[in-house]
Amino acid sequence: MPGPRLPKPCQDKARSHRGVGGEVHQTSGGDVPVLTTQQGTPVADDQNILRVGARGPALLEDGYFREKIFHFDHERIPERVVHARGFGAHGFFETYEPLTDITRADIFARKGERTPAFARFSTVLGNKGSADLARDVRGFAVKLYTQEGNWDIVGNNIPVFFIQDAIKFPDLIHAAKDEPDRGFPQAATAHDNFWDFVSLTPESTHMLMWAMSDRTIPRAPRFMEGFGVHTFRLVNAEGHSTFVKFHWKPKRGMQSVVWNEAVKLNGADPDFHRRDMWAAIQAGDYPEWELGLQLFDKAFAESFDFDVLDATKLIPEELVPIRRVGRLVLDRVVDNFFAETEQVAFMTQNIVPGVDFTNDPLLQGRNFSYLDTQLKRLGGPNFAQLPINAPKCPFAHFQQDGHMAFRNPKGRVNYEPNSRGGAAGGPRESPQRGFVTHPSEEAGEKLRARPELFADHYSQARQFYISQTKVEQGHIRDAFTFELGKVESADIRLRVIAHLLNVDAALAAAVAGKLGIAKLPVMAEPARAVRTNLLPSPALSILSNPPPDFGGRKVGALVTDGSDAALLKALRAALDAEGAMLELVAPTIAGIVASDGSRIRADHALVAGPSVLFDAVAILPSAEGVVLLAAMTEARDFVADAFAHCKFIAHGEAARALFEKAGVPAADDGVVAVRATADAAAFVARCRALRFWDREAALPLPAKISPGPAPPRVPRG
Ligand code: HDE
């Protein structure tokens, strides 16, 4: 039988002057619009440069070619210095209840009101083309198009930061990104420069604990928390100010992957996160977070153990509970990645009446940086005119001209004050409606210094660590071991251990042991005594806060010809009822013929659908099919990886042969036999725990290491 007809290349001599490559090229007519130049001139030939004779030189006269290539040459804008790789989506924020007693922000004035929103999630370190599952802090930036202007909450998925003062940001980022001489490693802190810098910057210790935890390898943005990080103010109509910290709480609960899974995901699907968001929105399973406020007054700020202006500290939820005041729902993917996700300009300075800054020295520095960076990236002062950045409320001002200005004030008057009355005079200031800065009293000497309390660098790092489950503590230990294992300088490794000794002696010893350090260094001397009386805060652990159900997750079923059709149907129905998804992985992408003779489409060919893509797996081959699978490396890896990553595994009777070949002992409580269709629902119920952590080896006892000589140059913490 002849194969399908493929398009012919453009070889037809008689027509090649027109460049019509046989049936591939469609010309205009009917509903197909005519291709034009930027000036609107219809184009007759988009295949060939204008030239002298078929084999002659190109002509300068070819304005269309010149325009097309010129534009192509200028397609790129500078990627973001940090947070270059990101993915955005549109949606809305819905207010639960009026908050007029606390803030005059219009967005919180009316119950049930929906405000348009755009959110962009990002990694920090990697270039635009890096992989999603790099171990990295995640950006969580939200633009709220309120009726009184755009309000940007430009946060991260970690509530603290590496540094306290913005003046150190260029150093931090230089040290963390690829090393300047060699241009690698890409999207990774596992190198000497990063650990050199942080080991000499004790204030990083708290954030390092978060960075080495599973928070930096989220399953997807829709399963992570977001934080405004700094202390802000909310100000009501009477001018009363309340301090606030912003939190985003994911509706589907928190979830991360394990490191070995992240490593494999980066190869199997470098776009895992952006694909997840795209697919969830397209499927109508809209990513959603609740906005939580931690509200506190001056009296609390003054009595708190730490300075609320210090971005390396958090306020435990157990101390100041979170009040949930609305929800962010992302329900629309972008139409064009460049126009929206790439050109969106978030700025911490974008606040609205009813919200105000505090003196957090990191926030103050950010307020300078973001405007500057937009000018560089977007090329001129009119980036606010781009649809993604323009307010959706009425706006009017006298700013004019400049690069790419397409929205200039109309009329004769472009200055203020002016004596023209009414509309002819243009917009006027409004002391009643306008933004008023909270009149906090400020006094003091001009100096370069930090407040005394900022010097406690270890107490909350310790609190974070003791708030983690044993499993999570093990992951932190392994992450430190991996990262420091990539560090070439032994001095740097020792300096990090010297800091860890202030956080948790057993952790420091375990990491040192795994790095083969024979003698522990002397503990870094803390600048302020470590508070060992801070209680664990369960809210800081991912695993202590499991999701309500398995909704939004994905099961991958490994199937072959002859797989039990009724069982597959039952599994799909049970997952549907849970709000979860089933995807089929088959030996080929053509799919299978199931036990009842029906042909079922595959979502993945086995070679392209490893188990790391799924939250749980079902191994459901037929008795004949399992023989084929057992001979395939990919099938053995599918099962072995799912087991090693502590996933719940459902299996039919025939699957045992594959388990044996894969060296997987199909004998723990996370491996669930599903024989009858009724078993499917029970399996899905087990999956609610997300992972079967008991499988992971218990935290090994720290090796006994005796104290050794002090490492060189341990800074005062
Ligand atoms: Fe940023 N940061 N940052 N940052 N940041 C940028 O602005 C900066 C900091 C954050 O999806 C840049 O438009 C300084 C903390 C996010 O487009 C730049 C300091 C937090 C995004 C910049 C910080 C953030 C950025 C680069 C130290 C969490 C991506 C491109 C004082 C609270 C937003 C851009 C998006 C982006 C500067 C520290 C979050 C260079 C100087 C702390 C989520 O302006």
What residues pair up with 592 in beta bridges, in sequence order? 600
Question: What is the distance in A from the centroid of ligand 1 to the CA of 153?
Answer: 11
Here the tokens at position 179 are: 């090393």
Q: What is the DSSP string of 624-693?
A: THHHHHHT-HHHHHHHHHHHHTT--EEE-GGGHHHHHHHT----STTEEE--STHHHHHHHHHHTT-S-G
Pocket test for ligand 1, best of 366, 377, 386 (most atoms within 8 A of CB): 366
d(CA 124, CA 42): 44
- Among 145-154, 299-308, 668-677, the minimum mean pLDDT is found in 668-677
pLDDT level of residue 642 (50, 70, 90 thresholds): very high
Question: What is the distance in A from the centroid of ligand 1 to the CA of 612?
Answer: 31
Domains 86-166+219-385 and 456-543+699-707 share a fold: no
Determine the longest span between alpha carbons in the chain, in angstroms. 90
Among the listed residues 150, 156, 193, 382, the single catalytic one is 156
Respond yes or no: is residue 438 known to be catalytic: no
* Among candidate residues 257, 218, 260, the one with its CA nearest the CA of residue 637: 260
Q: What is the pLDDT of residues 651-684, one digit of tens each?
A: 999 999 999 999 998 679 999 999 888 999 999 9
Per-residue pLDDT at 365: 97
For helices 259-268 and 470-485, angle between their N-to-C axes, nearest 10 degrees: 60
Q: What is the pLDDT of residues 522-564, one digit of tens each?
A: 999 999 999 999 999 999 999 999 999 999 999 999 999 999 9
The answer to whether 254 touches 469, Cβ cutoff 8 Å, is no
Q: What is the mean pLDDT of the chain?
A: 93
Nearest CA to ligand 1 atom 44: 370
pLDDT level of residue 408 (50, 70, 90 thresholds): confident
Does the pLDDT of residue 8 top 50, yes or no? no
Kindly give the number of the ligand 1 atom that is closest to the alpha carbon of 120. Answer: 11
Spell out the domain ranges in the chain.
Answer: 86-166+219-385, 456-543+699-707, 554-689
How far is C-alpha 74 from the chain's CA centre? 28
Neighbouring residues of 412: CB distance < 8 A, sequence distance ≥ 6: 420, 424
Kindly give the number of the ligand 1 atom that is closest to the alpha carbon of 374. Answer: 13
Per-residue pLDDT at 25: 58
Which CATH number is associated with domain 86-166+219-385? 2.40.180.10
Nearest CA to ligand 1 atom 29: 83
Does the pLDDT of residue 211 top 80, yes or no? yes
Kindly give the number of the ligand 1 atom that is closest to the alpha carbon of 81. Answer: 26
The answer to whether 131 touches 91, Cβ cutoff 8 Å, is no
The rounded percent of the chain whose pLDDT value lies above 90 is 90
Q: What is the pLDDT of residues 409-445, one digit of tens each?
A: 889 999 999 999 899 999 999 999 999 999 999 999 9
Per-residue pLDDT at 28: 72
Q: What is the pLDDT of residues 63-95, one digit of tens each?
A: 999 999 999 999 999 999 999 999 999 999 999
**pTM > 0.85: yes or no:** yes
Does the pLDDT of residue 29 top 80, yes or no? no
Question: What is the distance in A from the centroid of ligand 1 to the CA of 716?
Answer: 28
Residue 462 phi, psi dihedral angles, 5° rounding: -65, -45
Mean pLDDT of 600-612: 98
pLDDT level of residue 306 (50, 70, 90 thresholds): very high
Q: What is the pLDDT of residues 343-354, one digit of tens each?
A: 999 999 999 999
Q: What is the pLDDT of residues 287-303, one digit of tens each?
A: 999 999 999 999 999 99
Query: Does any ligand 1 atom lie closer than 6 A to the CB of residue 168?
Result: no
Mean pLDDT of 346-366: 98
Homologous superfamily of 456-543+699-707: Catalase, four-helical domain (1.20.1370.20)
pLDDT level of residue 503 (50, 70, 90 thresholds): very high
Query: Does any ligand 1 atom lie closer than 6 A to the CB of residue 123?
Result: no
Per-residue pLDDT at 633: 97
Per-residue pLDDT at 26: 66
3-state secondary structure of 568: helix
Neighbouring residues of 38: CB distance < 8 A, sequence distance ≥ 6: 67, 71
Mean pLDDT of 583-601: 98
Which CATH number is associated with domain 554-689? 3.40.50.880
Kindly give the number of the ligand 1 atom that is closest to the alpha carbon of 373. Answer: 44
Query: Does any ligand 1 atom lie closer than 6 A to the CB of residue 166?
Result: yes
Respond yes or no: is residue 156 known to be catalytic: yes
Question: What is the distance in A from the centroid of ligand 1 to the CA of 587?
Answer: 45
Query: Does any ligand 1 atom lie closer than 6 A to the CB of residue 122?
Result: yes
Question: What is the distance in A from the centroid of ligand 1 to the CA of 361?
Answer: 14
The rounded percent of the chain whose pLDDT value lies above 70 is 93
Q: What is the pLDDT of residues 251-269, one digit of tens each?
A: 999 999 999 999 999 999 9
Q: What is the pLDDT of residues 328-345, one digit of tens each?
A: 999 999 999 999 999 999
Q: What pairing do the DSSP bridges indicate for beta strands 554-558 and 581-586?
A: parallel
Query: Does any ligand 1 atom lie closer than 6 A to the CB of residue 325?
Result: no
